[in-house]
Amino acid sequence: MQTLQTGDMAPDFSLFDSLQKKHTLVDYREQWLILFFYPKDDTPGCTVEACQFKENYADILAMNVRLLGINTDKLESHAHFIKKFQLPFPLLSDPQGETSRQYGSLFKLGPVRFCKRHSFIINPQGQIAKIYRKVNPKNHSQQIIADLKTWQ
């Protein structure tokens, strides 16, 4: 599979959140979108990253940007994680890892599959504006906000 690059059209997806609402890429046309892939709900690094996004969520929304988290965990796991940390944004379940694979974010080891910590900024036309393959959970949301400000 060819690796995604800045300027490529973002792969479409159709995934459900913890409230069983379906999200597709087309739902976010005409606005900026952040997709962040993360390994596992309620683990130390993933909790830090999600809580940093929560702390900066008002700034993200103020720029008319939407935020979605994606991993291979089940909807019930997402619901628990959202409730435990009062996360204000949807977490999408990709149980087969198909969307994660299309974004180059799936790690498979035998029957075990989980997402790598990657993020993508998608512009209002559906193109990938920025790819983050090396993510520090402690400051990633601030890094994304700073990058978004250069386009706003």
Could you list the active site residues? 46
How many Cα atoms sit within 13 Å of 99 on the Cβ side?
A: 26
Q: Are strands 65-71 and 128-132 parallel, antiparallel or unpaired?
A: unpaired
Which residues face 23 on adjacent strands? 15
Q: Is 45 helix (H, G, I), strand (E, B) or coil?
A: helix
Find tokens 């739902």 and name the residue: 27
